[in-house]
Amino acid sequence: MSNEFLDRHIGPSAEDITSMLNSINCKTVDEVVVKTVPESILFGNRMDVDEGLTERDSLELATKLAGENILATNFIGQGYYGTLMPSVIQRNILENPGWYTAYTPYQAEISQGRLEMLLNFQQMIIDLTGMDISNASLLDEPTACAEAMMMAKRANRKNKSNRFLIDSNTNAQTITILQTRAKPLGIELVIEEIQNNDFSDCFAALMQSPGTNGEVRDLSSDIAKAKDNGVLTIVACDVLALTLIKTPAEMGADIAVGNSQRFGVPMGFGGPHAAYLATRDEFKRMVPGRLIGVSQDVLGNPAMRMSLQTREQHIRRDKATSNICTAQVLLAVLAAAYGIYHGAAGLKKIASKVHTKAASLAASLKAAGFELATEQFFDTITINTDAASALFAQAQQAGINLRLLNDTQLSIAIDEATTKAELLNLLGVFSVSELIDSEGILSENMMRQTEYLTHSVFSDYHSETEMMRYLKRLENKDIALNHSMIALGSCTMKLNAATQMYPISLPGFSKLHPYAPTEQTKGYQQLFKDLEHSLCEVTGYDAVSLQPNAGSQGEFAGLLAIHAYHDSRGDAHRNICLIPSSAHGTNPASAIMAGMKVVIVKCDEAGNIDINDLKAKVEKHADNLSAIMVTYPSTHGVFEVEIKQICDIIHTNGGQVYLDGANLNAMVGVTRMGEFGADVSHINLHKTFAIPHGGGGPGMGPIGVKAHLAEFLPGDPLEKDSNAVSAAMYGSASILPISWSYIKLLGKYGMQRSTEVAIVSANYIADALAQSFPILYRGDQGMVAHECIIDIRPLKEQSGISEEDIAKRLMDYGFHSPTMSFPVAGTLMIEPTESESKREMDRFITAMTSIHDEIQKVIDGRWDKDNNPLKNAPHTAYEMSGEWTYPYTRQEALYPVESLVANKYFPPVKRIDNVYGDRNLFCSCITTEDFA
């Protein structure tokens, strides 16, 4: 069972594992597993998955599959466009672990680099849309439309209507996703033409600019009329078009949404891409998704962090207004970098070229007698022709993808990457031989009059040298996996191997349009089939949908499947969702979105689900029981012995078991949820299956189901009423090769070994730390699963030092904090994963032990209660330069342990004041004058 890659993936060596086993008093790895996983669910490795490949063979196979996808010339458009990613961005961000292995910026002091880039993204969207405030990414354009719909419902309380109007000139995928999201909330969708609509009975209206057929319209008078009727307006906008045409703000809209894909991000057969939502100042406290704001650190220097509900979303649980957790940070960073590198003039030039290419094409077709359906357009023209289908087929023969809008209309979309040769080829299909030059056709009253991207960040970095250094400067401000271990419990920050990452840059995977004909996507289809099979084998489920593009979306899709199943059996009234108090915030938030009622089940002293309370709640709600959402192993980091019984109780009472699969890294090759009683789960591919966290996204959250739920999995987003949850059939398809490669490289045995080592390492860390910090929960044989929770509350009681002080102090030691106060307030949850070496874990243990000694000094009165290195953490390099006023030494502050001498990280700011930032909400780029 030798596997070359396995030794690269697993951090500890064989000797290290032996030594760890010694310290946890176990003889073998098997013994650890047997003591940790309940016997009743320990099935052994039953996965029908091949043994691992070498890195060379895996790459070769991926390259072969990419080669089986056909790269046609795309004129499909419909929200996805060919792009040219500047090489400086590809090399320094997309292919740079300093950016892609970072975590979500909850610990703001060590995340200033990516926070600055996200602030740039917000500023860019604010400028382009003309709105006052923008969030820092949503999952895709249709879900952004859905979030906007929900936000408008909340913002427009006065309007009692339950109807949401959608302009008929809107992308099909947007309409489908809105259907999926509106139905459980009891919102009725009305699809009509916006022009001359009387807006008589609806709370909000969505329109698209340009329309799905490419038409550029001045929506001002429609929006004004909506406003007169007390109706809020949402405009879905194209970011590139906005550099030339009137903004939604100029037209009077309340909310602007869209996708930033065409700012240098490849189509990737559907994603990932960063969507956005921008709005007027008066709605700023209702914005869904992450919002980056400028606050200050304790010295009064500007410092960024996530603001408002962005931090509250999970805490608010069933009161949460959105279930978004993992979003699209890396993609927002890429789009912002594109905007920065090109600047206002550069973007305008790109947009003008796209427009004149489209105008030339239109002029040439018109001269040949073709009739245009769109008078005003930016990049997409629609022609009326009885020969639409024939021309569509002819084009395909010539390797050209067009969009067949209906029997008599064809659409053609131009993008940044379209060449003159491609245009001439295309004209050939229409038997036109000459490309007529055009200067553009947009009428004066549709042209944008306002300036944008005037902040200096958008003009300072246009040379490659300056850009490269700016990106490096930001990268240096952050801690990512290329600096030190990130032991975030529940997040599984394992190795994202370069060989797994490599395939995403292959054009055969990155350049496909999500709506390309199936004949062109055979390589992808093979990869999906393979991945679906492996995920079924890993989980014991019968079918998998690769559509949900985050765990939260998987939860939503899974709950919809459960509801549809009940409905099919005449049980549509079943709407109670039981959720243990320890659940992740997305669970209750998703249940609410799925139209369910949340009933909380208590946990007992040992952290397990309180079976008596469960029985009582089940009995009380038996008639209406829809599901339980349970995380396994639990968010408390233990394998509950009663899991089978829990599943039985639910099933006996007519309910379904949704098992949150975020902790799958503790189960692969050891047990299978599909076999011990679960009906459906999401699988966070960005946790267990090696997709990097990207600083807070992208991720993927496919769901696995037992056979009886298979027919209720999400369908095609281009088909109405299909229960689709993402804009593309396979969600963020272009990152699936990462997880596919992970499985190919590790294989059947390697995946099992990874689970085992993850459990051994977690127990090693738990036992080592237990000497300083109590371990909150353990299984019945004293073991933890793949993570452990240390309780800070007793120490805090004695010393006044909180879990947050420890988190900030760890920064001085060069570490990212473990998960703070989830699932229990006043604790830290630590998950080492199988990829961390014993040496690195020991460094972490040394840091934590040293911090414990520091706390002891506070308790003993050797250090001041308030003025000590813990309360004052983190310490910056800049502080060293001035007069040293602290009652402890510089060495104690900055180099508390020896190993830092060789590898010291300096946080760029001191501790950040969150309250100040929320009170003085400031969410755009700052100038020094601004901040003063």
Residue nearest to ligand PLP (CB): 551
Residue 858 one-letter amino acid: V
Binds ligand PLP (CB under 6 A): choice among 169, 171, 326, 872: 326
The region of 137-145, 547-555, 809-817, 913-921 touching ligand PLP under the rule CB under 6 A is 547-555
Calpha distance 271→740 (Å, rounded): 16
Quote the least distance from Cβ 819 to ligand PLP, whole Å: 9
- CB nearer to ligand PLP: pick between 271 and 699: 699
- In whole angstroms, the minimum distance from the beta carbon of 889 to ligand PLP comes to 40
List the one residue out of 585, 542, 591, 589 whose CA is nearest residue 563: 591
Distance CA 417, CA 262 (A): 10
- Within 31-90, the residues that bind ligand PLP by CB under 6 A are none
Nearer to ligand PLP among residue 262 and residue 494 (C-beta): 494
Select 580 or 917, whichever has its Cβ closest to ligand PLP: 580
Q: Residue 328, interface with ligand PLP (CB under 6 A)?
A: no
Selected range binding ligand PLP among 264-272, 544-552, 726-734, 891-899, rule: CB under 6 A: 544-552
Question: In the complex with ligand PLP, which residue's Cβ is closer, 241 or 785?
Answer: 785
Stretch that binds ligand PLP, among 43-51, 69-77, 550-558, 920-928 (CB under 6 A): 550-558
Interface positions, 774-813, toward ligand PLP (CB under 6 A): none
Edge to edge, the sheet with strand 680-682 lists: 543-545, 703-705, 680-682, 656-660, 625-631, 576-580, 597-601
Shortest distance in whole angstroms from residue 840 CB to ligand PLP: 22
- Give the residue, chosen from 660, 812, 831, 879, that forms a contact with ligand PLP under the rule CB under 6 A: 660
- 3-state helix/strand/coil string of 814-860: CCCCCEECCCCCCEEEECCCCCCCHHHHHHHHHHHHHHHHHHHHHHC
Per-residue binder mask for ligand PLP (CB under 6 A), 266-305, x = binder? ----------------------------------------
> What is the spatial distance between Cα 124 and Cα 376, in angstroms, rounded to a whole number?
25
Three-state SS at 205:
strand
The Cα 903–Cα 53 span in angstroms is: 35
CA distance 408 to 386: 5
Q: Which is nearer to ligand PLP, 66 or 562 (CB)?
A: 562
Shortest Å, Cβ 585 to ligand PLP = 8
8 Å CB contact between 448 and 247: yes
Residue 359 C-beta: closest distance to ligand PLP, Å: 42
Q: How far is the CB of 529 from ligand PLP (least distance, A)?
A: 23
What single string gives the DSSP state of each residue in 253-305? -SEEEEE-TTTT---GGG----EEEEE-GGGGGG--S--EEEEEETTS-EEEE
Choices 34-42, 168-176, 546-554, 785-793; region in contact with ligand PLP by CB under 6 A: 546-554
Name which position in 173, 233, 490, 534 contacts ligand PLP (CB under 6 A): 490
- Among the residue ranges 548-556, 775-783, 849-857, 877-885, the one whose residues contact ligand PLP (CB under 6 A): 548-556
Nearer to ligand PLP, 296 or 323 (CB): 323
What distance in Å separates the CA atoms of residue 219 and residue 773, rounded to the nearest whole number? 61
Taking residue 431's Cβ as centre, other Cβ atoms within 10 Å add up to 9
Query: CB 686 → ligand PLP: shortest distance, Å?
Result: 6
Tokens linked to 559: 């709950």
Q: Which residue has the tokens 């549709």?
A: 446
β-strands 163-167, 133-134: how paired? unpaired
Residues 6+ positions from 660 with CB-CB distance below 8 Å: 551, 555, 583, 584, 587, 629, 630, 631, 632, 681, 682
| Residue among 231, 235, 325, 373 that touches ligand PLP (CB under 6 A) | 325
For position 310 contacting ligand PLP by CB under 6 A, the verdict is no
Whether 337 and 266 have beta carbons less than 8 Å apart is answered as no
Helix axes 586-593, 551-568, angle to 10 degrees: 40
By the rule CB under 6 A, 631 interacts with ligand PLP? yes
Sign for the CA dihedral angle at 29, 31, 32, 33 comes to positive
How many other C-beta atoms can be found within 10 angstroms of the C-beta atom of residue 637?
29
CB of 699 closer than 8 Å to CB of 736: no
SS (H, E, C) 441-453: CCCHHHECCCCCC
Nearer to ligand PLP by C-beta: 563 or 584?
584
Q: Which of 385, 520, 552, 634 binds ligand PLP (CB under 6 A)?
A: 552
Q: Which residues between 560 and 589 bind ligand PLP (CB under 6 A)?
A: 584, 586
The span from the CA of 250 to the CA of 593, in Å, is: 33
Question: According to CB under 6 A, which one of 79, 271, 272, 551 is a site residue for ligand PLP?
Answer: 551
- Distances from the Cα of 684 to the Cα of 242, 455, 492, 694, angstroms: 35, 38, 10, 14
Pick 85 or 629: Cβ nearer ligand PLP = 629
Nearest approach, Cβ of residue 658 and ligand PLP (Å):
11
Is 120 or 313 the residue whose CB approaches ligand PLP more closely?
313
**Among residues 383, 538, 578, 662, the one that binds ligand PLP under rule CB under 6 A:** 662
654 Cβ partners below 8 Å, 6+ apart?
Answer: 571, 574, 622, 625
Q: Least distance to ligand PLP from the beta carbon of 550, Å?
A: 4
Instruction: Considering only the stretches 137-145, 436-444, 549-557, 747-755, report the one whose residues sit in contact with ligand PLP under the rule CB under 6 A.
Output: 549-557
Which is nearer to ligand PLP, 105 or 699 (by Cβ)?
699
635 interacts with ligand PLP by CB under 6 A: yes
- Answer yes or no whether residue 640 interacts with ligand PLP by CB under 6 A: no
Among residues 895, 885, 891, 925, which one has the least CA distance to residue 299? 885
Rounded Cα–Cα distance for residues 522 and 42 (Å): 38
Smallest gap from residue 753 Cβ to ligand PLP (A): 23
Cβ proximity to ligand PLP: between 180 and 688 the closer is 688
Contact (Cβ atoms closer than 8 angstroms) between residue 488 and residue 102:
no
**CB-nearer residue toward ligand PLP: 254 or 660:** 660
Cis peptide leading into residue 702 (ω within 30°): no
What is the smallest separation between the CB atom of 871 and ligand PLP, expressed in angstroms?
Answer: 30
**How many residues form the binding site for ligand PLP (CB under 6 A)?**
15
Name the token pair of 442: 């947009």
- The residue (of 106 and 392) whose beta carbon lies closer to ligand PLP is 106
Chain residues 664-703 in contact with ligand PLP, contact rule CB under 6 A:
684, 699, 701
Smallest gap from Cβ 4 to ligand PLP, in A, equals 31
Nearest to 692 by CA among 99, 267, 54, 10: 99
Q: Min. distance of Cβ 501 from ligand PLP in angstroms?
A: 19
**Which residues lie near ligand PLP (CB under 6 A)?**
325-326, 490, 550-552, 584, 586, 631, 635, 660, 662, 684, 699, 701
